[in-house]
Each structure stands twice: as structure tokens, then as C-alpha cells.
Amino acid sequence: MYNRRWLLIPVASFSFILLLTLGLFLSIGSHGTASSDTSSSTEIRGLEALNAAFIEVAKTVKPSVVNVSTTSVIKRPSRTGSRPGQEPFWDSGPFRDFFGDDFFRYFFREPESQRRTSLGSGVIVDKDGYILTNNHVLVGAGERVRADIEKMEIKVTLNDKREFDAKVVGRDPDTDVAVIRIDAKDLPAVKLGDSDELQVGEWVLAIGRPLGLSHTVTAGIVSATGRSNVLDTVTYQDFIQTDASINQGNSGGPLVNIRGEVIGINTAIATAAGIPGNIGIGFSIPVNMARGVMKQLIEKGKVVRGWLGIWLQEVDKDIAEKYGLEEPGGVLVIQASGPAKEAGLEQGDLIMEFDGEAVRDGSHMKNMVAAAGPDKTVKIKVIRDGKKKEFKVKLAERTSEAVAKMSPEEVTPREEEEWMGMTVQELTDELAQRLGYEDQRGVLVSGVDPDGPAAKAESPPRPGDLIQEIERQEIKNMDDYRQAVEKVKDRKSVLIRLQRGRGGPWYVVIKRD
């Protein structure tokens, strides 16, 4: 009996503890449930607020988004200057000789003009009828963005189904921005925001009229800013990247923030091989860039930009190391002419600062020069021969004539010796004519050892390239080449300037094994 009581005490104690723990658990559970319910309710209210914001933005902006339908007559580009192998088989040779020119012209003549249609979106930016869109919406995508337009008919359909004929106010292929206008008053115009304040991770909505459908709204975030090298046909690039779905026909439509402000003009999408359509990578022109272009197109009918007069090259890690930089930055001058040359800039200079702002890369440099405009005097800081130098440059106006003068007339490309895994030889007149190096001098790369230092460089040389410069010493012939090689024979890395065919020159750093 004693033993049994002794046993009952711990059992009773255990039962009491168990009941106490269970009660405590239930109490905590009830409080936890209440807390969870409160948290869940707060989250739902937050989602509802975001949902309401999306709905409000869509209601506010949709009336300003229009459909743009264009029919253009484009002048067919001339064949003059076409490279061998580009012409159809009947365009020359025995085929044409056998049948004769008259037969050829009658049966194989090509139309001088081509009729094109294009469909896209636009956004009303002024109540009196000004509409912002893409240049390629008007003339079509691809190389035709710079086409010579003989005739253009534009139809604009508003949100309320009204249709208007539109006139071109101005087109700027260099940014893919265009402005058109319809004869209407009191139109619903959007509010333009400030794309410079845009943050990666912000919510954005893309609105447009893809594939001829009525308004389509997609949501996403800003994935990145300052994207360049997106489109080969666009000179000035500073794109906003977003995962908000931008589909065919969305081009020219607005990208808006959560406050309903337009912060970009939808322009392009990235595609993957074998996967058609949007893959979640879209690009928009920042509204600040588009607004500046639009203002000039309305006021002047064209865009006036600053011109420095340099060919530039991006800085890779080898070049950065060669110039004493911890990481790539700035741009390397391949050739200087115009204002840059007059101010004292030289090929081989590494531009680090433009008018007080650090230069990130080539696109950044081009955009800053263009935005500065002509006749402005700017300070440019460079690294030359390991030393920092500063120059004052008065920018000129970028015109087609000025750009045309940037031909490689000052570029020097021209025998057989081996160095750094390359064999070189004298450039003969016959080789110059065959390889496209007429009126140029330098030494010709005749071979590259696949296991040598030259082959391991970034953007390595290959047979047929011309060596123009070694460590900033100009190479005109084999004597210059030998002298330059002798000077750098003990260096671990060497900066070399090259040119390939009729293309532009570039720099490469070759390191010894």
C-alpha cells in the first residue's frame, strides 16, 4: 500500500503538469491564432491596397494609350558598294551576259520602292494631340529604322474608338523615338515622371495595344537600369529593363510607375533561340531621354547633339589592369579627330571623366556627349602614359558630315617575324588591295600561335589583322615594328592597336606567359 501511494504521488504530479502544459499550449495557441489572423488581415489589406493601386493606374493611363497603324512607301536602298557575294546569281557574270541587259532589266528588275505596314502603340503626352511613340512603329523594325521614307500614312485609334489621320512631327532613329500629332483637342494626356529617380525593384505596369487587341496591362518590376548594347540599330541606349510582359504591338506604349507616371517608352524584348515571344526581359527608353528628344523634335524638327570626335573602345579587365585601374571603367580612345583632336586628345588616351562625371562605359560616354550639346566647353580627364591629364574641349554639333569625316584616314595599318605568338609581314600593295587596306600602312599579322600569348588575349588578333601601334608608338612598316618590339621586350604586358579589314580599329592587351 505504501508503495502504491508512493507511486500515485508522481502520477498525480505528472497529471497536474500535463494538464497545466496543455492549458498553457491551448492558451498560447489561441493567442497565436489571433496573432496570425491579425497578421493575415494586415497582409490582405496590403495586397488589396496594391491591387487598388494597379486598378487606379490602369484606369488613369489607359485612355491616353493609342493604337498606331502605319503604311509607308520606303525607297529601296541602292546596291552601290555591295560586297561581292551579296548580289543574286543573275546580277552579274555569264547569266546576265548570255541573256543581255534588256532581258535582265525587264524580267529581273527590282522595284525602286517598297510598301510596308507597321502596327504599334503610342501615348498622348499633350492635350492638343502630340503623341509619343517609337520610330520603328512608324517605319518598321530592323534596318528600315533609317530608311528613306517617300510616303507615310498614319492612322491613330483612340480609347473611345475614334480614328484620326496623324502627321509626323519628327523621327529620331538614333534613340528610336518619334513624335506624331493628330488634329484633336482636350485629349487625355499622361503625366511624365522622372526616370532618373527610378529604382531597381519598383513596381511598373506596361500598357499597350498588342496584336491589334484593345488595351492590355501587364505588371512587373524594374529589373535593371542603364542597359546598353540592346539594339544594333539604336545609337544612344540607356534602357530600363523590366519583367513586365512587353509583347508584339506594345512598342511605343508607356511603362508607368505605381503613381501613374510614365517613366519609359516600351521598345524591345529579348528573345531566346527557339523560344518565340516574350521571355520576361523587356526594354523601355527612359522617359527623360524620350522627353528631351521629343522637345527638340517639336521645337526644331530634328535633334541637335554634341560631338566630341572620337572612336572609342570599351575597357576590358586587361586594359584596366594595363592602365592601373582596379576594375574596368571609362573608355579608350581609338582615334581622335575634330574637337577632341584640336583639344589635344590622342589615340590611346583612357577617358575617365567627362564634365565632372565618372565615365562608366561607351554608352554612358556617348549619351553624355550628345546631351551636352554643341558649343559647350567641357572638361575631360584622361590617363595617358600612366599620368592623369585634363583637357578643355569645345564640343561641335554631331552631323552626318562630321561623322563621315571620322573615316579611318588617320588609321595606320602594314612583314615575316615572330613575337608574342604572332608572325607578321610587310603589307604589300597587292595584299592591301585584296584585304581592304588601301592607302594604309602598318604590319600584317600572317599567323597566330593558338597556344601563344596573343591568342589568349581578350578580342585576340588573327591572321589578316593589321598592327598599327605598340605601346602608343605608331607602326608604319617593319622598321617601326622592330624598334617598338625592342623597347617592350622586357614588359609583362603590351598594349597593341589593331585593325581588321575595312572595319574600325581596337586595342588589345597581350600578356607574356
Which band of pLDDT confidence, cut at 50, 70 and 90, is reported for residue 462?
Answer: confident
- Residue 196 pLDDT more than 70? yes
- What percentage of the chain reaches a pLDDT higher than 90? 49
Report d(CA 195, CA 262) in Å as an integer.
9
- Residue 239 pLDDT more than 80? yes
Among the residue ranges 8-12, 249-253, 470-474, the one predicted with the least confidence is: 8-12
Among the residue ranges 78-82, 165-169, 429-433, 490-494, the one predicted with the least confidence is: 78-82
- Start and end residues for every CATH 2.40.10.120 domain found in the chain: 38-77+91-303
The three cell numbers locating residue 340: 577632341
Which band of pLDDT confidence, cut at 50, 70 and 90, is reported for residue 500?
Answer: confident
| Helical (H) or strand (E) element with 308 | none
Q: Which of 227, 458, 419, 453 is nearest to 321 (CA)?
A: 458
- What mean pLDDT value characterizes the chain? 81
Q: Given this model, what pLDDT does residue 156 score? A: 94
Which band of pLDDT confidence, cut at 50, 70 and 90, is reported for residue 38?
Answer: low
Q: Any idea which residues carry the catalytic annotation?
A: 136, 176, 251
Report d(CA 120, CA 115) in Å as an integer.
17
- The pLDDT of 337-343, averaged and rounded, is 93
- Residue 15 pLDDT more than 50? no
- Alpha helix stretches (DSSP H) within 100-229: 101-108, 135-139
Q: Given this model, what pLDDT does residue 39 score? A: 63
Report d(CA 26, CA 21) in Å as an integer.
9
CATH code, residues 306-404? 2.30.42.10
Among the residue ranges 66-75, 223-232, 319-328, the one predicted with the least confidence is: 66-75
What burial letters (b/e) apply to 223-246, b meaning 16+ CB within 10 Å? Answer: bebebbebbebbbbbbbbbbbbbb
Q: What is the pLDDT of residues 345-375, one digit of tens each?
A: 998 999 999 999 999 999 999 999 999 999 9
- Residue 19 pLDDT more than 50? no
The three cell numbers locating residue 280: 520576361
Q: What is the pLDDT of residues 206-236, one digit of tens each?
A: 998 776 667 789 999 999 999 988 887 888 9
- The pLDDT of 194-202, averaged and rounded, is 94
Q: Which fold has domain 38-77+91-303?
A: Thrombin, subunit H (2.40.10)
Q: Given this model, what pLDDT does residue 34 score? A: 53
114 or 72, greater pLDDT: 72
Q: Given this model, what pLDDT does residue 212 score? A: 62
Report d(CA 286, CA 234) in Å as an integer.
14
Class of domain 417-511: mainly beta
Q: Given this model, what pLDDT does residue 489 score? A: 87
- Start and end residues for every CATH 2.30.42.10 domain found in the chain: 306-404, 417-511
Q: Which of 148-152, 243-247, 429-433 is most confident?
A: 243-247
- Residue 455 pLDDT more than 70? yes
- The pLDDT of 317-323, averaged and rounded, is 92
Q: Which of 449, 418, 402, 66 is nearest to 253 (CA)?
A: 66
Residues 6 or more apart in contact with residue 272 via CB below 8 angstroms? 279
- Residue 85 pLDDT more than 70? no
Q: Given this model, what pLDDT does residue 448 score? A: 86
Which band of pLDDT confidence, cut at 50, 70 and 90, is reported for residue 151?
Answer: confident
Count, residues in the chain: 513
Among the residue ranges 2-11, 209-218, 248-257, 334-343, the one predicted with the least confidence is: 2-11
Residues 6 or more apart in contact with residue 58 via CB below 8 angstroms? 205, 207, 217
Beta bridge partners of 182: 166
Q: Given this model, what pLDDT does residue 246 score? A: 84
- Residue 340 pLDDT more than 60? yes
- The pLDDT of 394-411, averaged and rounded, is 70
193 or 71, greater pLDDT: 193
- Is 333 exposed, middle or buried (CB count within 10 Å of its CB: 0-12, 13-18, 19+)? buried
Q: Given this model, what pLDDT does residue 449 score? A: 85
